[in-house]
Amino acid sequence: MKLPRLLLASSACLALATAALADYTWDFSQATGSNGAVDAPESTGVHTLAFASGAQIAADAGAPKGQALVLDGTQKDPGQTPRALEAFPGVEIKLKLKPAGTGPDRQTVVGFGNAYEIRYTTKGVLEFIVFHPEKKFTIAQVKVPANQWVDVKATYQGGKLVLTAGKNTKEATLPAGIDIEAKGTRLRVGRQGDRAFVGAIAELSIKAL
């Protein structure tokens, strides 16, 4: 049965409106916390990022507003949003990052959507990983020094990954005929499994593409 054109147009407009709303920023200069627990507000007021342990807000002259989230590696769980974000078939992730260069060999910085993860390795490599069916993945990697602030931008759209850290950019492409299966999940920051991140984050934003 064919749907009326008006209904199809309305559905398309709704999809566009939803995509336009999928634009979130976490401001760690406005975060509060004590005793290892931190709450960082989000721009729409819906997706506060909450850490239960291993986190603190500290002054840092290199952070854009003089304050950053610091994770010491003892966090037992990732910082998480209270509810799931939308599914992101395409995404732009931006963050300002200062890895300590210590801790587990592989460390999850950001993960969500059943498809996207940014990791840091103690070999000084930042990884943008896009997972696709059959437990396979595609990865872009860029060298990132420890104990220095770096601006990071990771995008995925139409099968193409682009990872930029500072002035360095790497690209990767999913295998032909393969696409991701993005799902709505809670945002996870600072840990996945035993991959606890050690370092500081000053800015984080996620935008649908």
Q: Tens of pLDDT along 59-88?
A: 999 998 999 999 999 999 999 999 999 999
Residue 165 in domain: yes
Q: Dump pLDDT digits (tens) for 15-63.
A: 444 445 589 999 899 999 999 999 999 999 999 999 999 999 999 999 9
Q: What is the dihedral of CA 62, 149, 155, 25, to 10 degrees?
A: -30
pLDDT of residue 134: 76
Residue 7 in domain: no
When divided into structural domains, the chain yields a total of 1
Asked if the model's pLDDT at residue 200 lies above 60, the reply is: yes
- Which amino acid is present at 28? F
Cα distance between residue 109 and residue 99, in whole Å: 9
Residue 2 in domain: no
Q: For residue 162, give every residue at least 6 positions away whose Cβ sits within 8 Å of its Cβ, in sequence order, or none.
A: 140, 153, 154, 155, 156, 169, 170, 171
Residue 10 in domain: no
Residue 138 in domain: yes
Range of the domain at 36: 23-208
Provide the CATH number for the domain around residue 80.
Answer: 2.60.120.200
pLDDT of residue 16: 43
Residue 15 in domain: no
Is residue 204 within 8 Å of residue 189, measured between CB atoms? yes
Residue 14 in domain: no
Q: For residue 159, give every residue at least 6 positions away whose Cβ sits within 8 Å of its Cβ, in sequence order, or none.
A: 173, 174, 178, 179
Residue 93 in domain: yes
pTM: 0.89
